[in-house]
Amino acid sequence: MTATKRIVLSSDHAAIELRQAVANHIAAQGWDVVDIGPTTPESTHYPLHGKAAAQSVASGDCQLGIVLCGTGQGIMMAANKVPGIRCGVCSDAFSARMIRQHNDANMLSIGARVVGEGQALDIVDAFLTAEFEGGRHATRVDMIEA
């Protein structure tokens, strides 16, 4: 990984604390973290935040994105509506590694009401250190995009 890699983070109100823990964790690894909030705890709408993060990745401003909400499901669904985004919700490190290796996922979603902080950081590390394997998986990812 190079220090120039940029990653966008976003969440809804249900995941602000975990998002900030993730931000600190990956910033310490040298990532340029673009945390687009929200920063205040008022109830908000996860589709807005999923879309904003996904647009940052789809535009090329950030290489990867991590989104979080209560379950990780709603914000993942919103992110996947943006063309070019492949976002998977993960509650375990194996899945997080595999969505990079096989699915070339460019976004990860985590449920703050599903996993604790330690598990979430393991999931993030698995996602960020895995590489897309290409080959037969590229054929399948191309089929998703088509």
**Residue list, annotated binding site for D-ribulose 5-phosphate:** 12-13, 70-74, 103, 113, 136, 140
- Tokens found for residue 13: 């109100």
d(CA 36, CA 39): 8
Name the minimum Å distance from CB 130 to ligand RB5.
25
> Could you tell me which residues are annotated as the binding site?
12-13, 70-74, 103, 113, 136, 140
- Distance of alpha carbon 79 from alpha carbon 88, whole angstroms: 10
Q: How far is the CB of 48 from ligand RB5 (least distance, A)?
A: 12
Nearer to ligand RB5, 18 or 62 (CB): 18
Q: Which of 143, 135, 3, 138 is nearest to 63 (CA)?
A: 3
Catalytic residue among 62, 69, 87, 90: 69
The catalytic residue among 45, 62, 90, 102 is 102
Nearest to 16 by CA among 112, 125, 118: 112
Report the residue closest to ligand RB5, judged by CB: 74
- In the annotation, is 137 catalytic? no
Least distance from C-beta 114 to ligand RB5, angstroms?
9
Q: Does residue 62 have an active-site annotation?
A: no
Per CB under 6 A, residues contacting ligand RB5 are 12, 14, 46, 69-71, 73-74
Burial class (CB in 10 A: 0-12, 13-18, 19+), 59: exposed
Q: Which residues touch 116 (CB under 8 Å, ≥6 apart)?
A: none
The residue (of 10 and 71) whose beta carbon lies closer to ligand RB5 is 71
Active-site annotation, residues? 69, 102
